[in-house]
């Protein structure tokens, strides 16, 4: 019989009873006492996303940490960020930097290396581009939480689905090798990260291949408690939830449901909306952005979540399982850690309409237990992230 996946084969510390909670509290107090002045580098603070949930979890571990970032727009952030010291780089003064920051990527390395971290005794970086490139003081440990090595440099297929003009594609072709060399050199530099933590097994493999470094896996925290009260009472529809951008492949979800004549509700918006609508059948509803308080009910009423893109980790499939909702997903990236094929969902091998159609048909013949789904989601609770991360810091020499 297939068993539920363990998110960390090294033996995660789980805060699940009074003694373990006491041990964790003691360890965290010891870590905070050792590292009183903490600097946290994060790529940019503009639009909230999955990586920023990790940032908030790290700031919860170190309430007095200062944040260093390339570009900072305080408007969408909670007090956990806006009430503390946030240092933005010189790029923040570029006109319209809060919206054009992706075009500033060639300058990001210089921006992070410009920060003076001489007053800190611990450096943390939340990295998917250049945040790890900060210069740490001598003798100060640097822990890099890697969401992925720089995707724009290492994954040529990333732009295949993007509507880029020939000049932009030529510029990328010219720039990518330079970005790869710089990214690998920064990851291996003597004053670079001392410890690399990856957000999934897939990213750990990527770190090994791209950076030549080994990484421990600690999955991002997921607010599963929010979905625990949801009763899964499926109605006759499938669900897609996420931004409508090319790499998330919402087009596969709508096209497969059109082929099979299945009802689908699409939650989300983005620049690929027109292309996704063009592939949709008459039984697809586009709900746009849905208020947070309406999301649990939509998860509870769906037959399954369709997750046809490849994500480094992917929070949405975990949230779905926390609500008792099975997941039909392309079997690459983070879902290999979060979804158990045949037990909490169905994984398919080919990212095509035919591959997803076959997965939906297979799903129809399976039975999923609510207890299995919620137990799998519990492996990614915020308490587990905090305990695992604190343990890494506690064992530093």
- With a CB cutoff of 8 Å and minimum separation 6, the contacts of 295 are 241, 267
Of all residues in the chain, the percent with pLDDT exceeding 70 is: 92
Domains of the chain (ranges; CATH) run 18-221+381-394 (3.40.50.2000), 224-378 (3.40.50.2000)
User: How far apart are the C-alpha atoms of 37 and 53, rounded to whole Å?
Assistant: 21
Q: How far is CA 297 from the centre of its chain?
A: 23
Q: Does pLDDT of 14 surpass 50?
A: no
Q: State the alpha helices, DSSP H only, in 50-141.
A: 50-61, 79-82, 97-100, 105-113
- The structure's pTM equals 0.89
User: For residues 167 and 39, which has the higher predicted lDDT (pLDDT)?
Assistant: 39
User: How far apart are the C-alpha atoms of 238 and 24, rounded to whole Å?
Assistant: 40
Using 50, 70 and 90 to split pLDDT, how confident is the model at 11?
Answer: very low
Cα-flanking dihedrals φ and ψ of residue 4, to 5°? -70, 150
Q: What is the pLDDT of residue 211?
A: 97
Closest by CA position to 147, among listed 66, 41, 39: 41
- With a CB cutoff of 8 Å and minimum separation 6, the contacts of 345 are 304, 305, 317, 321, 326, 327, 328, 329, 339, 363, 368
Q: Does pLDDT of 233 surpass 80?
A: yes
Number of other residues whose CB lies within 10 A of the CB of residue 18: 8
Q: What is the pLDDT of residue 161?
A: 56
User: How far apart are the C-alpha atoms of 308 and 331, rounded to whole Å?
Assistant: 9
User: How far apart are the C-alpha atoms of 113 and 68, rounded to whole Å?
Assistant: 11
Q: What is the pLDDT of residue 7?
A: 40
- Helix orientation angle between 370-378 and 315-322, rounded to the nearest 10 degrees: 130
Angle at 203 between CA 157 and CA 98, to 5 degrees: 70
Q: Does pLDDT of 3 surpass 50?
A: no
Cα-flanking dihedrals φ and ψ of residue 122, to 5°? -155, 135
Distances, alpha carbon 220 to alpha carbons 89, 227, 328, in Å: 26, 17, 21
Mean pLDDT of 316-345: 97
pLDDT single digits (tens) 101-119: 888 988 999 999 999 999 9
For the ranges 94-108, 152-166, 175-189, 232-246, the lowest mean pLDDT is seen at: 152-166
Q: What is the pLDDT of residue 5?
A: 43
User: How far apart are the C-alpha atoms of 274 and 171, rounded to whole Å?
Assistant: 26
User: How far apart are the C-alpha atoms of 126 and 69, rounded to whole Å?
Assistant: 10
3 state SS of 267: strand
- For the stretch 201-209, contacts whose Cβ atoms lie closer than 8 Å and that sit 24 or more positions apart, written own/partner, are 201/336, 201/337, 202/312, 202/332, 202/333, 202/334, 202/336, 202/337, 203/146, 203/147, 203/148, 203/149, 203/312, 203/313, 203/334, 206/148, 206/149, 206/154, 207/146, 207/149
Q: Does pLDDT of 158 surpass 70?
A: no
User: How far apart are the C-alpha atoms of 285 and 282, rounded to whole Å?
Assistant: 8
Of all residues in the chain, the percent with pLDDT exceeding 90 is: 81
Q: What is the pLDDT of residue 166?
A: 74
Mean pLDDT of 50-61: 94
pLDDT single digits (tens) 269-302: 988 999 999 999 999 999 999 998 999 999 999 9
């Amino acid at each position: 019989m297939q068993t539920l996946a363990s998110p960390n084969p090294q033996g995660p510390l789980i805060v699940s009873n009074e003694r373990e909670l006491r041990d964790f509290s003691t360890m965290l107090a010891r870590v905070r006492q050792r590292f009183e002045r903490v600097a946290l580098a994060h790529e940019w603070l503009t639009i909230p996303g999955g990586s920023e949930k990790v940032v908030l979890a790290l700031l919860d571990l170190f309430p007095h940490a200062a944040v260093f970032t390339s570009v900072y727009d305080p408007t969408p952030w909670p007090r956990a960020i806006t009430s503390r010291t946030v240092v933005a780089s010189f790029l923040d003064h570029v006109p319209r930097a809060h919206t054009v920051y992706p075009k500033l990527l060639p300058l990001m390395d210089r921006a992070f290396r410009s920060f003076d971290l001489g007053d800190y005794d611990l450096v943390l970086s939340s990295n998917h581009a250049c945040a790890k490139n900060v210069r740490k003081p001598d003798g100060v440990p640097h822990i890099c939480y890697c969401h992925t090595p720089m995707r724009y440099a290492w994954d040529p297929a990333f732009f295949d689905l993007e509507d880029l003009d020939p000049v932009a594609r030529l510029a990328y072709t010219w720039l990518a090798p330079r970005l790869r060399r710089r990214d690998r050199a920064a990851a291996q530099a003597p004053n670079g990260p001392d410890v690399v933590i990856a957000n999934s097994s897939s990213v750990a493999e990527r770190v090994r291949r791209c950076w030549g470094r080994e990484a421990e896996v600690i999955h991002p925290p997921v607010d599963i408690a929010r979905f625990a009260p949801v009763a899964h009472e499926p109605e006759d529809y499938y669900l897609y939830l996420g931004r409508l951008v090319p790499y998330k492949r919402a087009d596969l979800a709508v096209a497969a449901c059109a082929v099979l004549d299945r009802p689908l509700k699409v939650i989300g918006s983005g620049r690929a909306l027109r292309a996704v609508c063009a592939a949709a059948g008459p039984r697809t509803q586009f709900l746009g952005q849905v208020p947070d308080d309406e999301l649990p009910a939509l998860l509870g009423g769906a037959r399954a979540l369709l997750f046809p893109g490849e994500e480094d980790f992917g929070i949405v499939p975990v949230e779905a399982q926390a609500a008792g909702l099975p997941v039909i997903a392309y079997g690459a990236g983070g879902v290999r850690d979060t979804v158990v094929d045949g037990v909490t969902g169905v994984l398919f091998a080919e990212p095509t309409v035919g591959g997803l159609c076959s997965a939906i048909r297979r799903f129809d013949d399976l039975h999923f237990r609510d207890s299995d789904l919620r137990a799998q989601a519990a492996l990614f609770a915020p308490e587990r992230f905090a305990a695992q991360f604190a343990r890494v810091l506690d064992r530093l020499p």
